Amino acid sequence: MPLPFTKMHGLGNDFVIIDATQTPFTLTAEHIRAMADRHFGIGFDQLLVVEPAPPSSATAVDFGYRIFNADGGEVEQCGNGARCFARYVREHGLSQQERIRVQTCAGVIELHITAQEQVRVNMGVPRFLPQQIPFVAGAPALRYPIAINGQTLMLAVANIGNPHTVLCVADVDHAPVAQWGPLLESHPRFPARVNVGFMQVLTRQHIKLRVYERGTGETMACGSGACAAVAVGQRLGLLDAAVQVDLRGGTLWIEWGGEGQPMIMQGSATRVYEGQWLWPQAA
């Protein structure tokens, strides 16, 4: 049988969403890679799966939320995807609540659809210790030296439900994202690989950001990457508590009250079209 799906995007970070609330999710990594192919498949940065609330959840949740990269690997968190998730369950009649709690591999996040149809996401409390990323380091620090291609870069690390590293650059438009991104993503000091953010600070309330996502490559936007950049910027004394983050696909607004506090992300989510995946193409 054809598999119904919805194509959505959050600031150009694009997703295919599948409703698995009534039937189990059975796509393999091979299927996902075929669907993600932008020439022979549907094309997307991530595949998002809506599942029933897991019975094992320790707290009350409304849905399960699973995320798969274009290479077929499952990941823990996706902020732009979370906003699309919230719009999807509302528009498909799965929930009419303004606030939705969903279980991810990294824990529970809360989604709130505002009166202006923006989506606010409580992304949880960021973590910075090397073992929490995970990142190989002798001791915790605000920034760490790391060697690639015969040069030493200074980078910070953060876990926003998934692992991130952030580099400060003078001009994000000319940053070597295509060169440094894959080298850092698979660097041996990041045993679970890492998402790589390139941050340019414009003012204490405004940054520009590009993100090379693990398993996907550079995307138009990255919600968890925006949170990681703001958290790192605050810890380095460069940013205030509320920051506008300009990404290639548009703008996010990030708020963080400091150590031990959850990060709040707000932005848009857009439905592009509905379709059906023909299984023979995924074989």
Which residues are part of the catalytic machinery?
A: 78, 222
Sequential DSSP letters for the chain = --EEEEEEEETTEEEEEEE-SSS-----HHHHHHHH-TTTS---SEEEEEEEPPTT-SS--SEEEEEEETTS-EES--HHHHHHHHHHHHHTTS---SEEEEEETTEEEEEEE-TTS-EEEE----B-SGGGTT---SS--SSEEEEETTEEEEEEEEESSSEEEEEE-S-GGGS-HHHHHHHHHT-TT-TT--EEEEEEEEETTEEEEEEEETTTEEES--HHHHHHHHHHHHHTT---SEEEEEETTEEEEEEE-STTSPEEEEE--EEEEEEEE-GGGG-
